[in-house]
Homo-oligomer: A and B are copies of this chain.
């Protein structure tokens, strides 16, 4: 091990060439005699040379251009407001480096818009892309195009196995369902029934929600104490009146329900109904720390929320792109973030 970090200059001296030549070899810019090249490469290896990122960043006016392609946060998809925060945090930390960031958003309910916006991403001529692959078909096409153009990309929120992504940062969806199952099992009397509610206006998110539901249900046969029934229902039109009617109907038919698991981030809609109906006896558990969920968590209407660290997903995604581009650091392909168990007593630390 060299006592001091090797520099290009050291390599050049050992090889008996100029630093320009060494640089050409290091950057594969060709125009170097094969013999010289091999010799230099050997020395590089011997010296365990790695470039000084600081010097590189200082010099190269080469500005990395990053682009994010994420859903537009709206009143009805408030989950996505946290993601930009992680991006800002990463940008802040990387502020001394020459980086530009563009955020492109698309309509969560509109595949066509995704496609249109993904074209816009290309127009921005990115060096790296971070995206949530909500629409499988369109996202796959987009990712393949990125790969063809040699542009690295990272996934958050979900991933597409058949694409050449650099890394995924997010939830282990199935396992997070299991955690929900365990929590419900712990706080609900063993003879009570459990209601699983999916709220999905369209089929797009079904993969996500289905997988959580599978994880949830997988907990009970072997690990759970609960002996009641698992009942599942779908709400397509999440309008308060419709939800209330449907919920009342199901609860009337199944008077033994002791817990409700909402597979997505809209548990507050269920809590709203329970509140207006004056139903206090069920354990409600849902996902994500939206303001409206947190409100019900604090009031006791929701017992647990499961958090998936949306801001950490984007933060890490950006860092991985940067580390990869500026230092050739290849990240782990899959990084599952912790499944956070949030109650009224520890929620303050998560928001």
Contact = CB atoms under 8 A, between A and B. Distances in A.
Interface of A: 52-55, 57-58, 96-97, 172, 175-176, 178-179, 181-183, 186-187, 219, 303, 336-346, 348-350
Given A54-B54, A175-B345, 5 more contacts: A52-B58, A175-B348, A182-B344, A183-B343, A338-B346
Contact of A340 (B53, B340, B348): B340
A137 to B, nearest CB: 31
A345 B178 contact: yes
Nearest to A189: B189
A78 to B, nearest CB: 21
A6 B306 CA distance: 45
A326 to B, nearest CB: 10
A53 to B, nearest CB: 4
Contact of A346 (B54, B175, B343, B348): B175
A178 to B, nearest CB: 5
A291 B342 CA distance: 24
Given A186-B187, A338-B349, A349-B337, A179 B54 contact: no
A343 B54 contact: no
Closest 9 CB pairs of A and B: A338-B349, A341-B341, A53-B96, A339-B346, A179-B345, A182-B345, A54-B96, A179-B346, A54-B58
